[in-house]
Amino acid sequence: MLRAKGFLAAELFWANQDGPLAGWAALAAFPIDPAGNACWQLTGQRAIPPGATHLYARCVAQDLLSAEEVWTEIPAGFRPEPRSAETAVRFLLMSDLHLSSNPGRVLRALRTAELPVLLCGDLTNDGREEQFRLFQRCIETAAPGRLVLPVAGNHDRLLCPEGDVQDHYQGFQRWALERAQALGCRVWQHPSGAYRALWQGVEILGLQCVAPGRRFGLREGGQPGWLERCLAESPAGAWRLILCHAPLLAHNPHRKDGPPYFAGDGELQGILDRSQRLLFLSGHTHCSPNLPGGGAEWDPESRRGYLDDGSVVPTELAGEPLMPSDWKDGAGMELSLTEDGVEIRARSIHSGAYYPRGYYRFEGGSVGLTEGQRRKNAESAKRVHPPQPAGGERV
């Protein structure tokens, strides 16, 4: 609650004693009523970023020419404890890059952070061969030596076959998975095009929810059964990241009713509901991480999370009277997985600034793991040739 008589509007930031946290965008912007009052609430499951000790408001006077600042201290019990990043496995997550012919945005996006990259589909705008060739060149230029794992979005499939050619995405994925293998990632591809990849003890399961011809559906090729077997076989306590272009209906930040995006939504949800310690990562909605409801959900008991990663093209933003223009920037997300939880940081691919509304810190990753299980997981992560999941083909 803010009281500032004589002022028209305020912009809110996480701060320390010196002012707004450097490198972080605004947390909120809202009008102040004629009595000088404003009230705003942080919703969703967002967290307070490390280093924040204060909440800071810049209030704009009604002459629109001057502003005043005000700080308030965050009560000690609410300030985040710094988390050791030494053992974290980190990724840069993005989707919906919609590469057409100008590679500038894709190059900038890949350079957002020097981390292994997970791409949740709509890499290209039309699924054309020359667009995938350009995307490959972008990866070679902006992410040499870095892991890049994609799944297909609807825009990565051709709308109409080009002569005998149904699809160019499959060739691109083959290239990406062979490259991943050369970088030390172990990869197995299922005949459906889904794949399992192991990177630093983290299991990445790529689902293909859009078939050639832009047909949404997950049942094709037996992906649900394959996924269930992979989840059952992965080491107890290992993090599982599931990549799927479209979100599940129950975890869609865009809408919670109407038809699901793809056939097999309910079956996939049932499989996830029987699993633990996983993050379901999706794109497709183009929703801004700054939307009031947020794009991440986490259930600490089952240790299951769902994350919509926004889009690299300008995001969809609505719902508040005042919204800073940088909230609409294309966004990427940094994931940091540790034994005991996950940290998510959304950031603008233009300015590099982190979005406070895209900051999440979920705890409870390894609760219930015995010392024996931890040891077993560590050994399994070291194994050179892990057992191949049923129906899998090593790339």
The residue ranges that bind Fe ion (CB under 5 A) are: 96, 122
Q: How far is the CB of 157 from Fe ion (least distance, A)?
A: 12
CA-angle at 26, arms to 23 and 32, nearest 5°: 155
Q: How far is the CB of 119 from Fe ion (least distance, A)?
A: 12
Minimum CB distance to Fe ion smaller for 309 or for 343: 309
d(CA 311, CA 107): 15
d(CA 52, CA 46): 14
Q: How far is the CB of 207 from Fe ion (least distance, A)?
A: 16
Q: How far is the CB of 283 from Fe ion (least distance, A)?
A: 7
Minimum CB distance to Fe ion smaller for 11 or for 122: 122
Minimum CB distance to Fe ion smaller for 122 or for 203: 122
Contacts of 335 (CB under 8 A, 6+ apart): 90, 91, 92, 93, 118, 241, 279, 342, 343, 344
Residue 346, helix vs strand vs coil: strand
DSSP state of 95: -
Exposed/middle/buried for residue 372 (C-beta within 10 Å: 0-12, 13-18, 19+): exposed
Q: How far is the CB of 304 from Fe ion (least distance, A)?
A: 25
Provide long-range contacts, Cβ within 8 A and 24+ apart, for 72-75: 74/48
Minimum CB distance to Fe ion smaller for 96 or for 309: 96
Minimum CB distance to Fe ion smaller for 46 or for 98: 98
CB distance 141 to 134 below 8 Å = no
Two tokens, residue 40: 């705003």
Phi and psi, residue 373, nearest 5°: -65, -40
Q: How far is the CB of 47 from Fe ion (least distance, A)?
A: 28
Minimum CB distance to Fe ion smaller for 26 or for 94: 94
d(CA 263, CA 192): 15
Query: CA 156, 161, 162, 166 torsion: positive or negative?
Result: positive
* Helix ranges restricted to H, the chain: 104-110, 129-142, 169-182, 223-233, 265-273, 371-382
Q: How far is the CB of 122 from Fe ion (least distance, A)?
A: 4
* Helix ranges restricted to H, 58-156: 104-110, 129-142
Q: How far is the CB of 312 from Fe ion (least distance, A)?
A: 9
Q: How far is the CB of 282 from Fe ion (least distance, A)?
A: 11
The H-or-E segment that residue 354 falls in is strand 354-363
In the chain, what is the straight-line distance between the N-terminal and C-terminal CA atoms, in Å? Answer: 56
Distances (CA, A) of 188 to 164, 249, 328, 393: 27, 28, 37, 5
Minimum CB distance to Fe ion smaller for 261 or for 354: 261
Listed residue (2, 47, 40, 5) closest to 345, CA to CA: 47
Q: How far is the CB of 311 from Fe ion (least distance, A)?
A: 6
Minimum CB distance to Fe ion smaller for 96 or for 329: 96
Half-sphere exposure of 233 (CA within 13 A, CB side): 17
Minimum CB distance to Fe ion smaller for 11 or for 156: 156
Minimum CB distance to Fe ion smaller for 286 or for 357: 286
Find the helix packing angle between 129-142 and 169-182, rounded to 10°: 20
